[in-house]
């Protein structure tokens, strides 16, 4: 029996497109931009994402149904700072359905979720979370 999907996440926007940068550049991907960020970069080009309460809580199951209607096999979770939310349910369901999961994060919050690729972009305004991004010991 399939596990019931119960969670919601604050979603600023979600859409099918091509990944425009990085290692997976050019691949068809479904982007989910989550609301919420407490890092406060002055150069941020998505300041509207900062207040998670401004964005609707979407049911994870409904998002996945939309993804399944596209050709995407890669799902990119971005923000905002997506790790302000627990991403275990979203990513475990996606991976069970054989989607690849990628995340773009500043590393300022503890890692949750199951990932095929982590794009780690630390910011100097807020320390990265030491338990998941340890400094070298030498």
One-character DSSP codes across 79-128: SS-GGGS--HHHHHHHHHTT-EEEEEE-S-S---S--SEEEE---TTS--
Binding letters toward ligand SF4, positions 85-104, x by CB under 6 A: --------------------
Q: Check residue 41 for interaction with ligand SF4 (CB under 6 A).
A: yes
The conformation of residue 55, written as its DSSP 8-state character, comes to S
For ligand SF4, the binding residues in 5-34 under the rule CB under 6 A are none
User: Which position among 31, 52, 55, 79 is part of the footprint of ligand SF4 (CB under 6 A)?
Assistant: 79
Distance between start and end Cα atoms, the chain: 49
- Least distance (Å) from ligand SF4 to the CB of residue 116? 21
Q: Find the part of the chain contacting ligand SF4 (CB under 6 A) among 2-10, 11-19, 20-28, 74-82.
A: 74-82
User: Which position among 11, 12, 34, 37 is part of the footprint of ligand SF4 (CB under 6 A)?
Assistant: 37
**Of the two residues 46 and 129, which places its CB atom closer to ligand SF4 in the complex?**
46
Q: Check residue 46 for interaction with ligand SF4 (CB under 6 A).
A: yes
Query: 10, 55 in Cβ contact below 8 A?
Result: yes
């Amino acid at each position: 029996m399939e596990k019931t999907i119960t969670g919601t996440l604050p979603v600023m926007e979600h859409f099918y497109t091509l990944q425009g940068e990085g290692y997976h550049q050019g691949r068809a991907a479904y982007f989910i931009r989550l609301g919420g960020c407490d890092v406060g970069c002055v150069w941020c080009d998505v300041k509207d994402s900062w207040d998670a309460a401004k964005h609707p809580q979407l049911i994870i199951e409904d998002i996945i149904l939309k993804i399944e209607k596209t050709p995407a096999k890669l799902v990119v979770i971005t923000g905002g700072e997506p790790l302000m939310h627990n991403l275990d349910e979203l990513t475990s369901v996606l991976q069970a359905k054989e989607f690849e999961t990628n995340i773009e994060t500043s590393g300022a919050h503890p890692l949750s979720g199951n990932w095929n690729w982590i794009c780690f972009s630390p910011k100097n305004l807020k320390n990265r979370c030491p338990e998941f991004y340890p400094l070298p010991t030498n």
